[in-house]
Amino acid sequence: MLPELSRRFLDLPPYPLAGIPEAKRRLTAEGVDIIDLSAGDADLAPPPAAVEGIRNAVGDPANSRYPFNLGLAEFRTEIARWMHRRFGVEMDPVKEIVPLIGSKDGIAHLPLAFVNPGDVAFIPDPGYAPYWSGVWLAGGEPVRVPLREENDFLLPLDELPQATVARAKLLYLNYPNNPTTAVAPAEYLRDAVDFCRGNRLVLVYDNAYSELAFDGYRPPSIFEIDGAREVALELHSLSKTFNMTGWRLGWAAGNPELVGVLSKVKSFVDTGVFLGIQAAGAAALRSWEEWVPSNIDVFRRRRDAAVTALVKEGFQARSPRATMYLWIPIPTQESGLDFCRRALETEGVIVLPGSSMGQGGEGFFRIALTTSEERLREAALRLGRLLSRAG
């Protein structure tokens, strides 16, 4: 018989995608044609350079040794080179970069270095689940801050209560944003850096979607903002940029003190990323300029096809400047959960209710552009049938 579960564990909500694989298997077994637009997990291939890189690396016995947090020097070097080419920022590959088992790794583990019981972290609502869970499991208090349409889905720094700010250690921001697709102007990022400097907060800047941008938009690094080096840790992922979700590879960048505390935490909870995958990551980064534009063009065409089809069916779908998502108001008088359940059970379309990523997402649903233009048009047609049957 198991001992009593901890309060922290019992208070964890269901993960946003929990139950979807089981429902998908059940309906598929019943012969339903499922269109799964729930997870940000593209159906596209990674760069050939990455595949060739890991193929070569696997044959070297040295790459089967413990990687530890130092990892592969080549990967760190390529990260630093990429940060300079892409954002114009200089990073020391040893002191200011740490490889991660996907950016989720760093997001969830960083609070262990800063958060004591009673301490606060500000979390965007809706937002990526590990922002909340990492703080909670570290014993802190995650304070959800609603992202509202009237604020362009920017976290309202000027509305944070000063008494709560005084107890805060961390501020999580994510632009381009999942799930709202919002982007942050430079003046907002300057305000965020100044806010964290003035209140002694660590700015945890999740930049996983920095390369999934369209129509000439170029999302910045937080380190392009004066003063950010003092307070910010920026997280990147190869998952979205290079279609490498299952490879679990990313990195955190920041000043040596911030990177050092995250590295120390990680040394007690994992032993690093397989060196062969880091070699593949280095190869992917070297192929960035040649390979990424054509991949982004696939997502742009999918975005345009889905938006056009959804508008035709009666949805207020807007064309985002970045990310692989659409964030769509629910036009019926029902909860997001009920709408998405109807979409699954009656039309075989899996979309994510906004409330699954926080109550601030109620009234919206998220579509991931992770299938072909033809299937996205078919999904829009099916979702349109939900509107015609709404009571």
Give DSSP secondary structure letters for 158-190.
GGS-HHHHTTEEEEEE-SS-TTT-----HHHHH
- Cα(279)–Cα(63) distance, integer angstroms: 9
Best CA proximity match to 152, nearest among 190, 173, 174, 181: 181
Residue 18: per-residue pLDDT = 62
pLDDT in single tens digits along all 391 residues of the chain: 779 888 888 888 776 666 667 777 887 888 888 899 998 999 999 999 999 999 999 999 999 998 998 899 999 999 999 999 999 999 999 999 999 999 999 999 999 999 999 999 999 999 999 999 999 999 999 999 999 999 999 999 999 999 999 999 999 999 999 999 999 999 999 999 999 999 999 999 999 999 999 999 999 999 999 999 999 999 999 999 999 999 999 999 999 999 999 999 999 999 999 999 999 999 999 999 999 999 999 999 999 999 999 999 999 999 999 999 999 999 998 998 889 989 998 999 999 999 999 999 999 999 999 999 999 999 999 999 998 876 5
Burial class (CB in 10 A: 0-12, 13-18, 19+), 382: middle
Q: Could you tell me which residues come within 8 angstroms of residue 9 by beta carbon, excluding any fewer than 6 positions away?
A: none
Q: What angle do CA 83, 248, 49 make, to 5 degrees?
A: 65
Distance from C-alpha of 169 to C-alpha of 199, rounded to nearest angstrom:
9
In the numeric block, which tokens belong to residue 128? Answer: 């990526």
User: And the tokens for 292?
Assistant: 């990424």
Q: 236: buried, middle or exposed (CB in 10 Å: 19+, 13-18, 0-12)?
A: buried
Query: What CA–CA distance (Å, rounded) separates 341 from 238?
Result: 31
- Domain 48-288, architecture per CATH: 3-Layer(aba) Sandwich (3.40)
pTM above 0.85?
Answer: yes
Q: Exposure string (b/e) for 130-146, b if CB count within 10 Å is 16 or more?
A: bbbbbbbbbebbbbbbb
The pLDDT value given to residue 17: 60
β-sheet bridge partners, residue 326: 367
Determine the pLDDT at residue 278: 97
CA distances from 125 to 7, 169, 231 (A): 23, 18, 22
Q: What is the pLDDT of residue 266?
A: 95
CATH number, span 7-45+290-385: 3.90.1150.10
Do residues 167 and 118 touch, judged by C-beta distance below 8 A? yes
pLDDT value at residue 282: 98
- Segments making up each domain of the chain, as ranges: 7-45+290-385, 48-288
